[in-house]
Amino acid sequence: MCLLAIQYKLVPESPILVAANREEFYDRVSQAPAIQSGKPRVLCGTDQRAGGTWLGVNQHGLLVAACNRHRMVQPLAPTSRGVLCRDLLRAGSARQAVDMALEELTSGKYDGVNYVIADRETGWVVHGGDELEVVELKEGLSIVGNRDVNDPRDERVKLARRLLTLQTLDSPVKFLAVASKVFARQPAGPGRPSMILRGRTRGTVSSTLLSLGLKPRDAIYQYAAGAPDKAKYEDFSPLLRDILSRGLRESRSKAKA
């Protein structure tokens, strides 16, 4: 279970703005975001058990993130959803990554998952539940949890939307400042929706803030290696700017050739 908010194409200079909390078992070790080997270059955290990821960006400005969801019919030996998330980050565009996700998920090898896939051209949520569905992201704020995108039955999704729409978030600085406080909101009482989950064996284990602008130098990537009400966000923006600049140089070289 995870929670992700994406403000898409509402701020012209930063078409992709993201805040995400990851929930997992506390004893499942993960590695902080790092640039992965191979092409295209990818910046993502790594799950040490399966080798996959839950959120990443590649040098083309493609975002892919995964949120687990319930599925009635589960495979006996499911293939890692995080590994597929990492594989999708090898795509050249959001549209290509969506096609790859659909091809894989129709195999029935995976447990329930929602994939958020977006670049500056198109954005999508792939619902990989009991039925396979693709929903195009609309301009504005969308919240993804362990049900459908913007599901009105999900109290946690409703809470996130309410807190993120108390004021107009019309710049990347404003969005990230507000989102950092919203996603660090301490757990509420029993039976109430909460941005941070803290159970006995599992809960919120990390948090990510992301801004993908039109220029590589404007990109922002902040990561908290723990629940953000206790762990501070660290800045990984130089790594993101590096791979985006590399991608821009390569695309310009191809265009000249």
pLDDT tens, 154-172? 999 999 999 999 999 999 9
Asked if 128 and 113 count as a contact pair (C-beta separation under 8 A), the reply is: yes
The predicted structure's pLDDT at residue 254: 80
| pLDDT tens digits, 129-145 | 999 999 999 999 999 99
Q: What is the pTM of this model?
A: 0.96
For residues 65 and 61, give the distance between their C-alpha atoms in angstroms, rounded to a whole number: 13
Both structure tokens of 47: 């799950």
pLDDT exceeds cutoff 80 at 192? yes
* DSSP string covering 78-106: PPPHHHHHHHHTTSSSHHHHHHHHHHHHT
pLDDT value of residue 188:
76
Q: Quickly state the pLDDT bin for 191 (edges 50, 70, 90).
A: confident
Q: What is the pLDDT, as a whole number, of residue 164?
A: 98
Rounded to the nearest integer, the mean pLDDT of the chain is: 95
How many angstroms separate the most distant Cα atoms in the chain?
Answer: 61
DSSP H helices in the chain: 81-88, 94-105, 155-164, 172-182, 237-256
185 pLDDT more than 90:
yes
What would the pLDDT profile of 6-60 be if each residue is shown by its tens digit?
999 999 999 999 999 999 999 999 999 999 999 999 999 999 999 999 999 999 9
Q: What is the pLDDT of residue 256?
A: 79
What residues contact residue 95 under an 8 Å CB cut-off, 6+ apart?
121, 122
Find the mean pLDDT for residues 188-212. 92
* Domains of the chain, start order: 2-256 (3.60.60.10)
Which residues lie across from 7 on neighbouring strands?
17, 141
Task: Please say if the pLDDT value at position 253 is more than 80.
Answer: yes
Output the pLDDT for position 255.
82
Cβ 110 vs Cβ 121: under 8 Å: no
